């Protein structure tokens, strides 16, 4: 029997009993539609969860200089000045999992505007990418600083809402000059409100400045003394640090390697840490390995030599992130499976009824020359056709449902072409799997008994 007449026969057989066919299709429609709607809603929420976690910083990695022991006193992490802006660039360029990185320089001090003053908990210098990584690029008011501002070490800053409230008391801070350690910075933007972070710190109590400005203007001019102090954390670095005349052990060599034998170029632009963003937060530990490899090569560290930097990811948060997304995915899978199985059982049920009801027809077809495999093929194809039609209608209904849900309940949804393709394939497979037994039963009928069946 050729394929096209077979399909025609099947369609005729289905059309002959429109009620039964449409009820069967309905089962599959509901199954597939719920899968599509579930997947779309699930993907939407998954994306939103991802965004939420990203906002909390789960997709960031901190790279800090390593520790050093100087005359028996360990400085702790960040004690050395081994990281440079060039390292930050290298991390972005050479690590496939890293999408952005920014050198960060920290500062602290009192901020003054008019007769108001405030001590922000965070004054950091970063690049434009810093704002993007922190999800702060879109300003509440004003503009973020530009690449050019960073290059030229402009005295501009963007401030958090807490500072805007404390210093400006309802005035618009845009265009106003504030003073940090006697250096004036123009406020060009106000950051979006973030609230407290997981540790309970007010994230809006922050001033962000181009890192070059912090490095060369704030730190470079601010402090006049204590050049011996480590450049690391909060405090001042004198001009002599920037333009050293004496041999300050600024780029501390490893103790077993005499300085004279290690003609490293001196790096004056040391930074406090590098803030990097991962493309896939689930793979942050891979990213850590990648960064370690890149930086070891860049710092020319021999095998066996200890890292002169520390890479840390937000392990706890990424774990929470991946377990959440995993849970959503599993939940969706279960729901999808249940509805598909229910639809499949519906198909099987109807096909079995159909086979019983059409026993006489089967007997007749066999008597006039249909082989068992012709009968089998016909019923299998009928089941598959039902499922395919149901699948296609189900996709339409599912899309409609998710659209309605997205618009009325304001749930996030994301369309998923893969889910549609999979749904169509799955519905065809359901047709074959659940149509198999009834078709097999039909094909095994004895034509004599089948003809005699009333």
Partner 1 sequence: MIKLVDITKVYHLGEIDLPVLKGISLHIKEGEFVSLTGASGSGKSTLMNILGCLDRPSSGEYLIAGQDVANFNASERAVLRNKRIGFVFQNFNLLSRTSALDNVMMPAVYSHPALSTKEIRAHAELLLNMVGLTDRMDHTPAQLSGGQQQRVAIARSLINNPSVLLADEPTGNLDSTTSKEVLNMFKDLNREKGITVILVTHDPKIANFTDRAINMEDGLICEGVSSMLSAVKQ
**CB contact at 8 A, 317 and 57:** yes
Based on CB atoms, which residue is closest to partner 1, 10 or 164?
A: 10
Based on CB atoms, which residue is closest to partner 1, 20 or 186?
A: 20
Token pair recorded at residue 395: 């996709």
Give, in order, the Cα–Cα distances in Å from 309 to each of 71, 81, 388, 421. Answer: 20, 9, 58, 47
> At its nearest, how many Å lie between partner 1 and the CB of residue 353?
16
Dist. CA 178–CA 181, nearest whole Å: 10
115: left (phi over 0), alpha (psi -120 to 50) or beta: alpha
Residues 295-324 that bind partner 1 (CB under 8 A): none
Could you tell me which of 419, 426, 424 has the C-alpha nearest to residue 332? 419
Phi and psi dihedrals of 139, rounded to 5?
-85, 150
Residues 372-391 that bind partner 1 (CB under 8 A): 372-374
Q: Which of 272, 365, 387, 401 binds partner 1 (CB under 8 A)?
A: 365
Task: Using CA atoms of 324, 325, 330, 335 in order, give the dihedral in degrees to the nearest 10.
Answer: 100
Q: Which of 295, 370, 376, 397 binds partner 1 (CB under 8 A)?
A: 370
> At its nearest, how many Å lie between partner 1 and the CB of residue 369?
2
Q: Which of 142, 244, 412, 447 binds partner 1 (CB under 8 A)?
A: 447
Q: Which of 9, 34, 88, 227 binds partner 1 (CB under 8 A)?
A: 9
x/- string (CB under 8 A) for partner 1, residues 160-189? Answer: ------------------------------
Token pair recorded at residue 361: 């027809």
Stretch that binds partner 1, among 101-109, 152-160, 325-333, 364-372 (CB under 8 A): 364-372
Stretch that binds partner 1, among 71-79, 367-375, 392-400, 406-414 (CB under 8 A): 367-375
**CB contact at 8 A, 160 and 205:** yes
Could you tell me which of 52, 40, 32, 34 has the C-alpha nearest to residue 411? 40
Q: Is 448 in the site for partner 1 (CB under 8 A)?
A: yes
Residues 397-436 that bind partner 1 (CB under 8 A): none
Dist. CA 198–CA 73, nearest whole Å: 32
Q: Is 16 in the site for partner 1 (CB under 8 A)?
A: yes
Q: Is 362 in the site for partner 1 (CB under 8 A)?
A: no
Dist. CA 25–CA 19, nearest whole Å: 10
Q: Which of 5, 200, 247, 417 binds partner 1 (CB under 8 A)?
A: 5
> At its nearest, how many Å lie between partner 1 and the CB of residue 13?
9
- The DSSP code sequence of 7-42 is HHHHHHHHHTSHHHHHHHHHHHHHHHHHHHHHHHHH
Q: Which of 366, 381, 388, 419 binds partner 1 (CB under 8 A)?
A: 366
Which residues are near partner 1 by CB under 8 A? 1-2, 5-6, 8-9, 12, 16-17, 360-361, 363-374, 447-448, 451
């Amino acid at each position: 029997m050729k394929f096209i007449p077979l399909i025609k026969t099947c369609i005729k057989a289905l059309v002959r009993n429109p009620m039964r066919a449409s009820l069967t299709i309905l089962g599959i429609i509901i199954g597939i539609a719920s899968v599509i709607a579930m997947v779309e809603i699930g993907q939407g929420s998954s994306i939103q969860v991802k965004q939420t976690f990203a906002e909390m910083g789960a997709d960031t990695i901190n790279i800090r200089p390593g520790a050093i022991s100087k005359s028996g006193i360990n400085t702790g992490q960040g004690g050395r000045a081994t990281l440079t802006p060039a390292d930050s660039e290298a991390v972005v360029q050479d690590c496939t999992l890293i999408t952005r990185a920014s050198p960060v320089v920290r500062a602290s001090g009192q901020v003054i505007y008019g007769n108001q003053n405030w001590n922000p908990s965070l004054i950091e210098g970063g690049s434009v990418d810093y704002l993007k990584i922190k999800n702060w690029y879109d300003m509440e008011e004003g503009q973020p600083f530009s690449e050019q501002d960073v290059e030229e070490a402009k005295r501009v800053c963007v401030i958090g809402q807490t500072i805007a409230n404390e210093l400006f008391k309802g005035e618009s801070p845009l265009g106003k000059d504030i003073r940090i350690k006697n250096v004036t910075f123009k406020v060009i933007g106000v950051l979006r409100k973030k609230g407290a972070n997981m540790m309970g710190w007010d994230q809006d109590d922050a001033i962000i400045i181009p890192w070059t400005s912090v490095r060369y203007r704030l730190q470079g001019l601010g402090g006049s003394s204590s050049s011996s102090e480590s450049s690391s954390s909060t405090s001042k670095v004198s001009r002599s640090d920037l333009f050293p005349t004496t041999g300050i052990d600024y780029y501390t060599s490893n103790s077993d390697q005499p300085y004279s034998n290690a003609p490293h170029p001196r790096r004056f632009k040391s930074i406090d840490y590098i803030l990097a963003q991962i493309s896939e937060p689930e793979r942050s530990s891979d990213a850590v390995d990648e960064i370690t490899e890149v930086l070891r090569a860049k710092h020319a560290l021999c095998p066996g030599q200890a890292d002169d930097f520390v890479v840390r990811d937000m392990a706890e948060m990424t774990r929470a992130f991946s377990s959440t997304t995993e849970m959503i995915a599993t939940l969706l899978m279960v729901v999808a499976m249940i509805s598909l199985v229910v639809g499949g059982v519906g198909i099987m049920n109807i096909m079995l009824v159909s086979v019983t009801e059409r026993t006489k027809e089967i007997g007749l077809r066999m008597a006039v020359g249909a082989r068992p495999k012709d009968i089998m093929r016909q019923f299998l194809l009928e089941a598959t056709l039902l499922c395919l039609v149901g699948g296609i209608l189900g996709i339409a209904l599912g899309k409609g449902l998710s659209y309605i849900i997205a618009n009325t309940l304001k749930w996030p949804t994301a369309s998923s072409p893969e889910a549609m393709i999979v749904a169509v394939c799955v519905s065809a497979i359901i047709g074959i799997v659940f149509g198999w037994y009834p078709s097999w039963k039909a094909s095994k009928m004895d034509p004599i008994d089948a003809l005699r069946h009333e």
